[in-house]
Chains A and B, each alone.
Chain A
Amino acid sequence: MSLEQNYADYSVLNYLQLPVVVFSANEHKEVFQNNSFQLVAQHYLNASNNPTNRGLVQLIISKLLEIDTDKLEVEINDASYRHIFRFTANVVGEHVIVEVEDITELKRNQFLFNRTNSLLEDYSKQMFELAHTDQLTNVPNRRALFAKFSQLQSNHKDFSCTVSLIDLDHFKRFNDSFGHDFGDQVLVTFAKHVKDSIDDTCYFARLGGEEFCLIQINNKDTVCFANTEKLLQTTKTIKLMTPDNSNIGMSFSAGVAVYGKDGISLDELLNNADKALYFAKENGRSRVVKFEGA
Protein backbone atom coordinates (compact mmCIF):
# COMPACT_ATOMS: atom_id res chain seq x y z
CA MET A 1 0.00 0.00 0.00
CA SER A 2 1.46 3.37 -0.92
CA LEU A 3 1.38 6.52 1.12
CA GLU A 4 -0.76 8.04 -1.59
CA GLN A 5 -3.30 5.29 -1.02
CA ASN A 6 -3.15 5.87 2.68
CA TYR A 7 -3.74 9.53 2.10
CA ALA A 8 -6.77 8.70 0.02
CA ASP A 9 -8.10 6.71 2.97
CA TYR A 10 -7.77 9.42 5.57
CA SER A 11 -10.81 10.18 7.60
CA VAL A 12 -12.01 13.65 8.42
CA LEU A 13 -12.91 14.59 11.96
CA ASN A 14 -16.27 16.26 11.77
CA TYR A 15 -15.75 18.68 14.61
CA LEU A 16 -12.47 20.00 13.35
CA GLN A 17 -12.79 19.38 9.65
CA LEU A 18 -9.12 18.56 9.71
CA PRO A 19 -7.58 15.27 8.72
CA VAL A 20 -6.43 12.43 10.91
CA VAL A 21 -3.90 10.60 8.78
CA VAL A 22 -3.29 6.93 9.48
CA PHE A 23 -0.04 5.41 8.28
CA SER A 24 0.69 1.69 8.18
CA ALA A 25 3.65 1.03 10.44
CA ASN A 26 4.29 -2.36 8.81
CA GLU A 27 4.49 -0.88 5.38
CA HIS A 28 6.79 1.92 6.45
CA LYS A 29 9.09 0.48 9.09
CA GLU A 30 11.86 2.87 8.10
CA VAL A 31 9.64 5.74 9.15
CA PHE A 32 8.16 4.43 12.35
CA GLN A 33 10.88 2.28 13.90
CA ASN A 34 12.17 5.23 15.89
CA ASN A 35 8.72 6.67 16.45
CA SER A 36 9.82 9.98 15.09
CA PHE A 37 7.10 12.47 14.48
CA GLN A 38 9.47 14.43 12.29
CA LEU A 39 9.63 11.56 9.84
CA VAL A 40 5.93 10.91 10.07
CA ALA A 41 5.23 14.50 9.24
CA GLN A 42 7.71 14.36 6.36
CA HIS A 43 5.72 11.49 4.86
CA TYR A 44 2.54 13.39 5.52
CA LEU A 45 3.98 16.19 3.44
CA ASN A 46 4.84 13.81 0.64
CA ALA A 47 1.39 12.37 0.75
CA SER A 48 -0.36 15.67 1.00
CA ASN A 49 -1.50 16.49 -2.48
CA ASN A 50 -4.36 18.58 -1.22
CA PRO A 51 -3.37 22.19 -1.95
CA THR A 52 -5.37 23.57 0.99
CA ASN A 53 -3.27 21.55 3.42
CA ARG A 54 0.07 21.92 1.72
CA GLY A 55 0.94 25.35 3.08
CA LEU A 56 0.05 24.22 6.55
CA VAL A 57 2.08 21.04 6.34
CA GLN A 58 5.07 22.82 4.84
CA LEU A 59 5.07 25.16 7.76
CA ILE A 60 4.92 22.27 10.19
CA ILE A 61 7.85 20.61 8.48
CA SER A 62 9.93 23.77 8.65
CA LYS A 63 9.24 23.94 12.38
CA LEU A 64 9.88 20.24 12.87
CA LEU A 65 13.28 20.52 11.30
CA GLU A 66 14.36 22.19 14.52
CA ILE A 67 12.85 19.75 16.99
CA ASP A 68 11.86 16.12 17.22
CA THR A 69 8.71 15.59 19.23
CA ASP A 70 5.43 13.70 19.19
CA LYS A 71 3.47 16.87 19.90
CA LEU A 72 3.69 20.23 18.25
CA GLU A 73 1.70 23.43 18.33
CA VAL A 74 1.74 25.54 15.22
CA GLU A 75 0.34 29.01 14.80
CA ILE A 76 -0.66 30.10 11.34
CA ASN A 77 -1.60 33.65 10.68
CA ASP A 78 -1.98 36.40 8.16
CA ALA A 79 -4.13 39.50 8.02
CA SER A 80 -7.41 37.63 7.86
CA TYR A 81 -6.64 34.28 9.46
CA ARG A 82 -5.08 33.22 12.73
CA HIS A 83 -5.33 29.70 14.05
CA ILE A 84 -3.29 27.52 16.34
CA PHE A 85 -3.10 23.81 15.63
CA ARG A 86 -1.83 21.00 17.78
CA PHE A 87 -0.34 18.02 15.97
CA THR A 88 -0.06 14.82 17.94
CA ALA A 89 1.50 11.57 16.76
CA ASN A 90 0.27 8.38 18.48
CA VAL A 91 1.41 4.84 17.86
CA VAL A 92 -1.65 2.59 17.95
CA GLY A 93 -0.82 -1.04 17.28
CA GLU A 94 0.68 -1.14 13.84
CA HIS A 95 -0.30 2.37 12.99
CA VAL A 96 0.82 5.86 13.73
CA ILE A 97 -2.03 8.30 13.86
CA VAL A 98 -1.30 11.94 13.33
CA GLU A 99 -4.05 13.99 14.90
CA VAL A 100 -4.62 17.63 14.12
CA GLU A 101 -6.66 19.85 16.43
CA ASP A 102 -7.57 23.51 16.14
CA ILE A 103 -6.75 24.82 19.64
CA THR A 104 -7.15 28.56 18.98
CA GLU A 105 -10.09 28.89 21.34
CA LEU A 106 -8.47 26.65 23.91
CA LYS A 107 -5.35 28.81 24.00
CA ARG A 108 -7.41 31.98 24.34
CA ASN A 109 -9.42 30.48 27.17
CA GLN A 110 -6.26 29.26 28.90
CA PHE A 111 -4.86 32.78 28.80
CA LEU A 112 -8.09 34.32 30.09
CA PHE A 113 -8.35 31.69 32.80
CA ASN A 114 -4.76 32.27 33.95
CA ARG A 115 -4.98 36.05 33.94
CA THR A 116 -8.38 36.11 35.60
CA ASN A 117 -7.15 33.63 38.15
CA SER A 118 -4.10 35.73 38.96
CA LEU A 119 -6.36 38.78 39.17
CA LEU A 120 -8.59 36.98 41.65
CA GLU A 121 -5.56 35.97 43.68
CA ASP A 122 -4.37 39.59 43.75
CA TYR A 123 -7.80 40.85 44.82
CA SER A 124 -8.03 38.09 47.37
CA LYS A 125 -4.68 39.18 48.87
CA GLN A 126 -5.80 42.81 48.85
CA MET A 127 -9.07 41.90 50.55
CA PHE A 128 -7.17 39.92 53.16
CA GLU A 129 -4.84 42.87 53.79
CA LEU A 130 -7.80 45.25 54.04
CA ALA A 131 -9.58 42.95 56.45
CA HIS A 132 -6.50 42.64 58.66
CA THR A 133 -5.10 46.18 58.59
CA ASP A 134 -6.21 49.29 60.40
CA GLN A 135 -6.82 51.78 57.60
CA LEU A 136 -5.81 54.88 59.56
CA THR A 137 -2.55 53.78 61.16
CA ASN A 138 -1.69 51.00 58.73
CA VAL A 139 -0.87 48.59 61.55
CA PRO A 140 -2.61 45.21 62.06
CA ASN A 141 -6.13 45.40 63.49
CA ARG A 142 -7.90 43.40 66.17
CA ARG A 143 -8.78 40.59 63.75
CA ALA A 144 -5.15 40.28 62.67
CA LEU A 145 -3.97 40.28 66.30
CA PHE A 146 -6.20 37.34 67.24
CA ALA A 147 -5.20 35.44 64.11
CA LYS A 148 -1.50 36.05 64.79
CA PHE A 149 -1.80 35.00 68.43
CA SER A 150 -3.56 31.81 67.49
CA GLN A 151 -0.93 31.07 64.85
CA LEU A 152 1.95 31.69 67.28
CA GLN A 153 0.33 29.57 69.93
CA SER A 154 -0.18 26.58 67.69
CA ASN A 155 3.11 26.81 65.77
CA HIS A 156 5.56 27.29 68.66
CA LYS A 157 5.91 24.47 71.14
CA ASP A 158 7.47 26.63 73.86
CA PHE A 159 5.45 29.73 73.13
CA SER A 160 5.45 32.47 75.73
CA CYS A 161 4.63 36.16 75.57
CA THR A 162 3.55 39.25 77.42
CA VAL A 163 0.56 41.28 76.35
CA SER A 164 0.65 45.05 76.87
CA LEU A 165 -2.67 46.80 76.51
CA ILE A 166 -1.89 50.43 75.69
CA ASP A 167 -4.30 53.34 75.92
CA LEU A 168 -3.28 56.88 74.84
CA ASP A 169 -3.76 59.36 77.66
CA HIS A 170 -6.28 62.21 77.27
CA PHE A 171 -7.07 61.25 73.72
CA LYS A 172 -10.63 62.56 74.02
CA ARG A 173 -9.18 65.92 74.96
CA PHE A 174 -7.08 65.99 71.75
CA ASN A 175 -10.18 65.30 69.69
CA ASP A 176 -12.39 67.77 71.54
CA SER A 177 -9.84 70.59 71.63
CA PHE A 178 -8.26 70.31 68.18
CA GLY A 179 -10.68 68.29 66.06
CA HIS A 180 -10.76 64.74 64.74
CA ASP A 181 -8.11 65.33 62.10
CA PHE A 182 -5.63 66.17 64.83
CA GLY A 183 -6.82 63.15 66.82
CA ASP A 184 -6.10 60.99 63.76
CA GLN A 185 -2.66 62.54 63.49
CA VAL A 186 -1.95 61.60 67.12
CA LEU A 187 -2.91 57.98 66.43
CA VAL A 188 -0.83 57.80 63.25
CA THR A 189 2.20 59.39 64.93
CA PHE A 190 2.02 57.03 67.89
CA ALA A 191 1.59 53.93 65.72
CA LYS A 192 4.57 54.92 63.59
CA HIS A 193 6.66 55.56 66.68
CA VAL A 194 5.91 52.08 68.05
CA LYS A 195 6.53 50.39 64.69
CA ASP A 196 9.91 52.14 64.48
CA SER A 197 10.77 51.14 68.07
CA ILE A 198 10.05 47.40 68.02
CA ASP A 199 11.78 44.46 66.41
CA ASP A 200 10.38 41.29 64.86
CA THR A 201 9.93 39.59 68.24
CA CYS A 202 7.00 41.97 68.79
CA TYR A 203 3.58 42.22 67.23
CA PHE A 204 1.75 45.52 67.43
CA ALA A 205 -1.91 46.12 66.60
CA ARG A 206 -4.62 48.74 67.00
CA LEU A 207 -7.60 47.29 68.83
CA GLY A 208 -9.84 50.28 68.19
CA GLY A 209 -10.16 53.93 69.20
CA GLU A 210 -7.02 54.95 71.12
CA GLU A 211 -6.36 51.40 72.33
CA PHE A 212 -3.40 49.36 71.06
CA CYS A 213 -1.84 46.04 71.94
CA LEU A 214 1.81 45.05 71.95
CA ILE A 215 2.67 41.36 72.15
CA GLN A 216 6.29 40.55 72.98
CA ILE A 217 7.16 36.97 72.13
CA ASN A 218 9.47 34.56 73.96
CA ASN A 219 11.23 37.07 76.17
CA LYS A 220 11.57 37.38 79.95
CA ASP A 221 8.65 39.11 81.69
CA THR A 222 10.96 41.64 83.28
CA VAL A 223 12.54 42.53 79.92
CA CYS A 224 9.11 42.88 78.30
CA PHE A 225 7.92 45.09 81.10
CA ALA A 226 11.07 47.24 80.83
CA ASN A 227 10.55 47.47 77.04
CA THR A 228 7.02 48.79 77.53
CA GLU A 229 8.33 51.24 80.12
CA LYS A 230 11.01 52.39 77.66
CA LEU A 231 8.36 52.79 74.97
CA LEU A 232 6.41 55.03 77.32
CA GLN A 233 9.49 57.19 77.97
CA THR A 234 10.26 57.62 74.26
CA THR A 235 6.59 58.33 73.51
CA LYS A 236 6.69 61.14 76.04
CA THR A 237 9.46 62.83 74.03
CA ILE A 238 7.19 63.16 70.96
CA LYS A 239 5.99 66.69 70.32
CA LEU A 240 3.04 67.35 68.06
CA MET A 241 2.17 70.69 66.46
CA THR A 242 -1.47 71.52 67.16
CA PRO A 243 -3.67 73.45 64.69
CA ASP A 244 -3.12 76.58 66.80
CA ASN A 245 0.66 76.15 66.40
CA SER A 246 1.50 75.11 69.94
CA ASN A 247 3.50 72.02 70.85
CA ILE A 248 1.80 69.24 72.71
CA GLY A 249 3.18 65.99 74.08
CA MET A 250 1.64 62.55 74.42
CA SER A 251 1.82 59.61 76.77
CA PHE A 252 0.04 56.36 77.43
CA SER A 253 -1.08 54.08 80.19
CA ALA A 254 -0.52 50.34 79.87
CA GLY A 255 -1.52 47.15 81.59
CA VAL A 256 0.68 44.09 81.16
CA ALA A 257 -0.38 40.43 81.41
CA VAL A 258 1.92 37.43 81.15
CA TYR A 259 1.06 34.33 79.10
CA GLY A 260 0.58 31.29 81.32
CA LYS A 261 0.55 33.14 84.64
CA ASP A 262 -2.25 35.57 83.76
CA GLY A 263 -4.07 33.56 81.12
CA ILE A 264 -3.73 31.27 78.12
CA SER A 265 -6.21 32.72 75.68
CA LEU A 266 -5.79 36.19 74.23
CA ASP A 267 -9.24 37.17 75.52
CA GLU A 268 -8.17 36.25 79.03
CA LEU A 269 -4.81 38.03 78.74
CA LEU A 270 -6.42 41.19 77.35
CA ASN A 271 -9.05 41.09 80.06
CA ASN A 272 -6.41 40.92 82.80
CA ALA A 273 -4.19 43.50 81.09
CA ASP A 274 -7.27 45.74 81.00
CA LYS A 275 -7.62 45.43 84.77
CA ALA A 276 -4.00 46.54 85.21
CA LEU A 277 -4.59 49.33 82.69
CA TYR A 278 -7.57 50.52 84.74
CA PHE A 279 -5.30 50.65 87.78
CA ALA A 280 -2.70 52.66 85.82
CA LYS A 281 -5.36 55.16 84.76
CA GLU A 282 -6.75 55.47 88.23
CA ASN A 283 -3.27 56.19 89.60
CA GLY A 284 -2.36 59.17 87.50
CA ARG A 285 -1.90 57.73 83.97
CA SER A 286 1.40 57.77 82.03
CA ARG A 287 2.54 54.54 83.65
CA VAL A 288 2.90 50.81 82.99
CA VAL A 289 1.30 48.41 85.49
CA LYS A 290 1.64 44.62 85.75
CA PHE A 291 -1.46 42.54 86.40
CA GLU A 292 -1.06 41.16 89.91
CA GLY A 293 -3.99 38.75 90.10
CA ALA A 294 -7.22 38.96 92.03
Chain B
Amino acid sequence: MESSLFIKYGGFSRIYIVIEKFYDNILKSETLNTHFKNTNMERLIHHQTSFISSLMGGPDYISDEQLAQAHKNLGINLKDWQEMINILSLTFSEQGISEDDAKQVIAKLETKRDFIVCH
Protein backbone atom coordinates (compact mmCIF):
# COMPACT_ATOMS: atom_id res chain seq x y z
CA MET B 1 0.00 0.00 0.00
CA GLU B 2 1.27 3.44 -0.91
CA SER B 3 2.36 5.50 2.05
CA SER B 4 0.20 8.59 2.56
CA LEU B 5 -0.62 11.20 5.19
CA PHE B 6 -3.91 9.34 5.59
CA ILE B 7 -2.00 6.25 6.72
CA LYS B 8 0.63 8.23 8.63
CA TYR B 9 -2.00 9.95 10.79
CA GLY B 10 -4.00 6.85 11.56
CA GLY B 11 -6.77 6.80 8.97
CA PHE B 12 -10.41 7.76 9.55
CA SER B 13 -10.44 7.24 13.30
CA ARG B 14 -7.68 9.76 13.94
CA ILE B 15 -8.74 12.24 11.26
CA TYR B 16 -12.29 12.14 12.64
CA ILE B 17 -11.02 13.54 15.93
CA VAL B 18 -9.04 16.27 14.14
CA ILE B 19 -12.19 17.27 12.23
CA GLU B 20 -14.30 17.27 15.39
CA LYS B 21 -11.81 19.67 16.98
CA PHE B 22 -11.77 21.72 13.78
CA TYR B 23 -15.54 22.25 14.03
CA ASP B 24 -15.30 23.04 17.74
CA ASN B 25 -12.91 25.81 16.71
CA ILE B 26 -15.12 26.86 13.79
CA LEU B 27 -18.09 27.26 16.12
CA LYS B 28 -16.01 29.56 18.33
CA SER B 29 -15.37 31.85 15.35
CA GLU B 30 -17.82 34.73 15.10
CA THR B 31 -17.05 35.06 11.40
CA LEU B 32 -17.98 31.47 10.64
CA ASN B 33 -20.38 30.14 13.24
CA THR B 34 -23.36 31.85 11.60
CA HIS B 35 -22.93 29.47 8.65
CA PHE B 36 -23.60 26.53 10.93
CA LYS B 37 -26.89 27.46 12.53
CA ASN B 38 -29.30 24.53 12.16
CA THR B 39 -26.56 22.41 10.61
CA ASN B 40 -26.38 18.72 11.41
CA MET B 41 -22.79 18.76 12.62
CA GLU B 42 -22.55 15.01 12.86
CA ARG B 43 -23.29 14.63 9.16
CA LEU B 44 -20.95 17.50 8.33
CA ILE B 45 -18.12 15.93 10.34
CA HIS B 46 -18.69 12.66 8.49
CA HIS B 47 -18.46 14.43 5.11
CA GLN B 48 -15.48 16.52 6.12
CA THR B 49 -13.58 13.56 7.60
CA SER B 50 -14.04 11.71 4.32
CA PHE B 51 -13.10 14.80 2.28
CA ILE B 52 -9.96 15.76 4.26
CA SER B 53 -8.98 12.07 4.30
CA SER B 54 -9.11 12.03 0.52
CA LEU B 55 -6.86 15.13 0.39
CA MET B 56 -4.43 13.28 2.65
CA GLY B 57 -4.19 10.39 0.23
CA GLY B 58 -7.11 8.37 1.56
CA PRO B 59 -9.87 6.95 -0.60
CA ASP B 60 -11.55 9.23 -3.15
CA TYR B 61 -14.67 10.85 -1.81
CA ILE B 62 -16.25 13.62 -3.81
CA SER B 63 -15.84 15.04 -7.31
CA ASP B 64 -15.17 18.74 -7.90
CA GLU B 65 -18.65 19.02 -9.46
CA GLN B 66 -20.27 17.55 -6.35
CA LEU B 67 -18.19 19.87 -4.17
CA ALA B 68 -19.35 22.91 -6.15
CA GLN B 69 -22.96 21.70 -6.04
CA ALA B 70 -22.83 21.23 -2.25
CA HIS B 71 -21.51 24.75 -1.63
CA LYS B 72 -23.27 26.79 -4.30
CA ASN B 73 -25.96 28.28 -2.05
CA LEU B 74 -23.92 28.69 1.11
CA GLY B 75 -22.63 32.19 0.41
CA ILE B 76 -19.08 31.46 1.50
CA ASN B 77 -16.84 34.45 0.71
CA LEU B 78 -13.07 34.84 0.55
CA LYS B 79 -12.90 36.21 4.11
CA ASP B 80 -14.75 33.10 5.37
CA TRP B 81 -12.40 30.90 3.37
CA GLN B 82 -9.28 32.52 4.83
CA GLU B 83 -10.68 32.26 8.34
CA MET B 84 -11.45 28.58 7.73
CA ILE B 85 -7.91 27.98 6.47
CA ASN B 86 -6.49 29.72 9.56
CA ILE B 87 -8.64 27.62 11.86
CA LEU B 88 -7.72 24.42 10.04
CA SER B 89 -4.00 25.27 10.37
CA LEU B 90 -4.46 25.99 14.04
CA THR B 91 -6.37 22.72 14.55
CA PHE B 92 -3.74 20.71 12.68
CA SER B 93 -1.07 22.24 14.89
CA GLU B 94 -3.11 21.53 18.07
CA GLN B 95 -3.66 17.95 16.93
CA GLY B 96 0.00 17.15 16.30
CA ILE B 97 0.06 17.29 12.52
CA SER B 98 3.48 18.52 11.46
CA GLU B 99 3.81 21.92 9.82
CA ASP B 100 5.03 20.45 6.54
CA ASP B 101 2.21 17.91 6.38
CA ALA B 102 -0.37 20.56 7.29
CA LYS B 103 0.95 22.80 4.51
CA GLN B 104 0.68 19.92 2.07
CA VAL B 105 -2.99 19.28 2.94
CA ILE B 106 -3.86 22.97 2.88
CA ALA B 107 -2.17 23.36 -0.51
CA LYS B 108 -4.43 20.58 -1.81
CA LEU B 109 -7.44 22.22 -0.19
CA GLU B 110 -6.55 25.52 -1.88
CA THR B 111 -6.92 23.80 -5.25
CA LYS B 112 -10.60 23.25 -4.31
CA ARG B 113 -11.26 26.88 -3.33
CA ASP B 114 -13.03 27.83 -6.54
CA PHE B 115 -15.55 25.03 -5.99
CA ILE B 116 -16.39 26.23 -2.47
CA VAL B 117 -16.17 30.04 -2.43
CA CYS B 118 -19.01 32.00 -4.06
CA HIS B 119 -17.98 34.41 -6.77
Q: Identify the A interface with B (CB < 8 A).
A: 75, 77-80, 82, 84, 107-108, 111-112, 115-116, 118-119, 122-123
Instruction: Confirm or deny: B27 has a beta carbon within 8 angstroms of a beta carbon on chain A.
Output: yes
* 23 CB < 8 A contacts A-B: A75-B41, A77-B27, A78-B27, A79-B27, A80-B24, A82-B23, A82-B24, A82-B41, A82-B42, A84-B42, A111-B12, A111-B16, A111-B46, A112-B13, A115-B12, A115-B49, A115-B50, A116-B11, A116-B13, A118-B59, A119-B11, A119-B58, A123-B1
B100 shortest CB reach to chain A, Å = 25
- Complex CA gap A108/B20 in Å reads 10
Is B12 a contact of A77 with CB atoms below 8 Å?
no
Taking the closest CB of chain A, its distance from the CB of B39, in whole angstroms, is 9
Q: Is B33 an interface residue (CB 8 A)?
A: yes
CB of A116 within 8 A of CB of B12, answer yes
Residue tally, chain B, CB below 8 Å to A: 19
**B119 at the A/B interface (Cβ < 8 Å)?**
no
Q: Identify which of residues 4-34 in chain B touch chain A, using a CB-to-CB cut-off of 8 Å.
A: 11-13, 16, 20, 23-24, 27-28, 33
Which of chain A's residues have a CB closer than 8 A to the CB of B33?
A: 79
A79 and B28: CB pair below 8 A?
yes
A84 to B41, CA, bound (A): 10
- Specify which chain A residues have a CB less than 8 angstroms from the CB of B73 in the assembled complex: none
* Set of chain A residues within 8 Å of B59, measured between Cβ atoms: 118-119, 122
* Complex A-B, nearest 9 residue pairs according to Cβ-Cβ distance, in ascending order: A79-B27, A79-B28, A115-B12, A77-B41, A111-B46, A112-B13, A75-B42, A112-B12, A119-B59
What residues of chain B lie closer than 8 Å to A111, measured between beta carbons?
12, 16, 46, 49
Partner of B16, one of A75, A112, A119, A122: A112
Write the chain A residue with the least CB distance to B17.
A108
Residue of B nearest to A77 (CB): B41
CA distance A82 to B49 in the complex (A): 16
Is B111 an interface position by the 8 A CB rule?
Answer: no
Interface membership of B40, Cβ < 8 A: yes
Chain A min CB distance to B6 (Å): 10
Q: Is the interface of B mostly helix, strand, loop or mixed?
A: helix
Q: Which residue on chain B has the smallest CB distance to residue A114?
A: B46
Minimum Cβ distance to chain B for residue A258 (Å) = 44
A136 to chain B, nearest CB (A): 20
A73 to chain B, nearest CB (A): 9
Q: Please report the C-alpha to C-alpha distance between residue A122 and residue B46 in the assembled complex, in whole angstroms.
A: 19
Given A79-B24, A122-B59, A107–B42 Cβ distance below 8 Å?
Answer: yes
Q: Closest CB of chain B to A135's CB: distance in Å? A: 15
Q: Which residues of A contact B27 (CB under 8 A)?
A: 77-79
Question: How long is the Cα–Cα vector from A93 to B11 in the complex, in angstroms?
Answer: 48
Q: Mark B31-71, 1 if CB is under 8 A from A, else 0.
A: 00100000011100010011000000011000000000000
A108 to B40 alpha-carbon distance, docked (Å): 14
B50: chain A residues at CB < 8 Å are 115
Which residues from A are CB-within-8-Å of B20? 82
Interchain nearest-CB distance for A112 vs B (Å): 5
- Whole-angstrom distance between the Cβ of A188 and the nearest chain B Cβ: 23
| Chain A nearest CB, measured from B33 CB (Å) | 7
**Quick one: closest A residue to B29, CB to CB?**
A79
Bound complex: CA A108 to CA B28 (Å): 22
CB distance from B24 to the nearest CB of A (A): 6
A75 proximity list for chain B (CB < 8 A): 40-42
Q: How near does chain A come to B105, taking the closest CB pair, in angstroms?
A: 18
Q: Using Cβ atoms and an 8 Å threshold, which residues of chain A touch B58?
A: 119
Q: How far is the CB of B104 from chain A (nearest CB, A)?
A: 21
Give A82 to B23 CA distance when docked, in angstroms.
10
Q: Give the residues from 71 to 100 in chain B that come closer than 8 angstroms, CB to CB, to chain A.
A: none
Q: Residues of B contacting A79 with CB < 8 Å? A: 24, 27-28, 33
